[in-house]
Amino acid sequence: MTGRNAWTLSDTTADLRRSARGPVPVEVTAAPQDLVLDLARTAVVVVDMQNDFCHPDGWLAGIGVDVTPARAPIPVLAELVPALRGAGAAVVWVGWGNRPDRANLPPGVLHVYDPAGTGTGIGSLSNRAGAPVLQEGSWAAALVEELAAVVEPGDVHVPKFRMSGFVDTVLDSVLRNLRVDTLLLTGVNADQCVLNTLTDAANLGYDVVMVEDAVATTSPSFCMDATVYNVRQCYGFTTRAANLLPAVRRAGA
């Protein structure tokens, strides 16, 4: 991906012109308006599709949450991500990857995962797999197997430490270095980490589009309804993979 923002060098000259990348326009049905996207300036951002959130042996399942809804985006993303990559979009995987010592996590973040202070939150072994919860390098923080299978070497991985993928991370500098303007937001949970990442992206000046069938939540259905409403009303747009895929595949042919 570094070729998106690179100089041409010789022993006598630094050519500061970036290589020209022609637009890859696609027309997509969306709400509240249809969109024309430039895939050459677009990244798909996949949030938190990790074992602790989406696997039956992960942390959420271990505390009694039905993770079936969180698994719904898996087949959609397994099809959508390679198609977008093939048409010129950047692929960015964002997920919790905390330090083993949790030194950068304030009490408010730790409380979310262990509200009663029983020692079952981040970094504990409180999942059926016995892996440190959401700890960088652990099985718990790894992408689910089905999506790990579609990762390619040119993809970018960004660990995060808050509900937002932008706070205290390199995500903004990575996206700007990729020369990206538009973000397609996907992953879980739609009303929590996806929405927080989307909101910060919009506030930073990115164009934001949430892919409704590539996000999910284990929260009550009204949370999803409110998320869709607020994305359309306040921040950007929503579309569906079924709307994106035909246009993306034509562009990548």
160 is catalytic: yes
H-type alpha helices, 19-114: 51-54, 59-62, 68-71, 73-86, 107-113
Question: Residue 159 belongs to what H/E stretch?
Answer: strand 156-160
Per-residue DSSP letter, 132: P
State the helix-helix crossing angle for 241-252 and 73-86, rounded to 10 degrees. Answer: 30
CA distance 141 to 52: 6
193 is catalytic: yes
Which residue out of 54, 160, 200, 213 is catalytically annotated?
Answer: 160
> E strands within 29-123?
35-38, 42-47, 90-96
172 is catalytic: no
CA distance 66 to 111: 21
Asked if 49 and 143 count as a contact pair (C-beta separation under 8 A), the reply is yes
Which residue out of 52, 193, 200, 207 is catalytically annotated?
Answer: 193
In the block, which residue shows the tokens 């992408």?
143
Q: Which residues are known catalytic residues?
A: 48, 160, 193
